[in-house]
């Protein structure tokens, strides 16, 4: 049996109404990464960053998973071999679609983190500077999201899965953010077949053996049917 590793990005949530980061109407088109998704930006203006994440946390609670999220949950349920699902997304749509395990390498909008004691808890809708940590009461709560310049989460587990995988699929990602954009090369070095499933060619499309272009709600269920049908 194959060992499948799937990496998803904002494109898989696009048809659920969650914005993407780049491309038409992308979050980073209107917002400055340096001000909103870096530790330096947070240190400069924590209220502005909390507001940015409060707005996205509330938006994330209003959208539903789509056929692409549901197809991946079906693959995780029905496939005989191991399926490791890694997402760059900070929304909870894979879990909402029924995926039994999701590795959030860039954290989660629904999570809060205490910078004083490392405690993690479910974030309230609204967080602001000085929000107290429920464990140590320090006024040090921040969104539990990985900013640029910070180490992504679960990298040991991810590296081990890539080193053993026989099939790697990147779905809905522009391939512009590292280390995620380099996972295809790690999978290729492990001897895996690699497939890019995206609306258009990503920045690393040439690293993939196979490509399937189109909207995720069309391309992902078809790909899952192919994998399950093999």
Query: Taking the complex as a whole, how short is the minimal distance between the CB of residue 100 and ligand BV8, in angstroms?
Result: 21
Instruction: Note if the bond before 179 is cis, omega within 30 degrees.
Output: yes
172 is in an annotated binding site: yes
Select the span of 74-82, 94-102, 118-126, 193-201 touching ligand BV8 (CB under 6 A): 193-201
| 7 CB burial (10 A radius; 0-12, 13-18, 19+) | buried
Please name which of 4, 3, 17, 21 lies closest in space to residue 173, comparing C-alpha atoms: 21
136 is in an annotated binding site: yes
129 scored as a contact of ligand BV8 (CB under 6 A) = no
Residue list 31-90, contact with ligand BV8 (CB under 6 A) = 37, 88-90
Are 111 and 143 in contact by the 8 Å Cβ rule? The answer is yes
Sign of the torsion formed by the C-alpha atoms of 192, 198, 204 and 208? positive
- 3-state secondary structure at position 16: helix
5 scored as a contact of ligand BV8 (CB under 6 A) = no
193 scored as a contact of ligand BV8 (CB under 6 A) = no
Q: Which two tokens stand for residue 59?
A: 């938006």
153 is in an annotated binding site: no
Catalytic positions are 106
Give me the residues that bind ligand BV8 (CB under 6 A), please: 9-11, 14-15, 20-23, 26, 37, 88-90, 106, 145-152, 172-174, 176-179, 198-200, 202, 215-216
């Amino acid at each position: 049996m194959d060992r499948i590793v799937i990496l998803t990005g904002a494109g898989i949530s696009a048809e659920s109404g969650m914005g993407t980061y780049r491309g038409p109407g992308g979050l980073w088109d209107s917002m400055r990464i340096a001000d909103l998704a870096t530790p330096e930006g947070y240190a400069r203006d924590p209220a502005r960053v909390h507001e940015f994440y409060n707005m996205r946390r509330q938006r994330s609670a209003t959208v539903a998973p789509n056929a692409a999220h549901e197809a991946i949950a079906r693959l995780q349920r029905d496939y005989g071999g191991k399926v490791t699902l890694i997402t760059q997304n900070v929304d909870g749509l894979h879990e909402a679609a029924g995926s039994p395990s999701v590795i959030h390498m860039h954290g989660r909008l629904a999570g809060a983190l205490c910078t004083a004691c490392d405690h993690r808890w479910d974030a309230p809708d609204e967080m602001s500077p000085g929000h107290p940590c429920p464990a140590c009461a320090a006024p040090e709560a921040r969104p539990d999201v990985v900013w640029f310049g910070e180490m992504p989460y679960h990298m040991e587990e991810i590296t081990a899965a890539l080193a053993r995988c026989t099939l790697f699929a990147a779905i809905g990602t522009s391939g512009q953010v590292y280390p995620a954009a380099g996972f295809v090369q790690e999978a290729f070095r492990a001897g895996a077949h690699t497939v890019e499933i995206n609306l258009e060619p990503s920045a690393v499309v040439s690293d993939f053996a196979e490509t399937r272009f189109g909207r995720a709600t069309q391309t992902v269920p078809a790909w899952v049917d192919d994998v399950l049908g093999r």
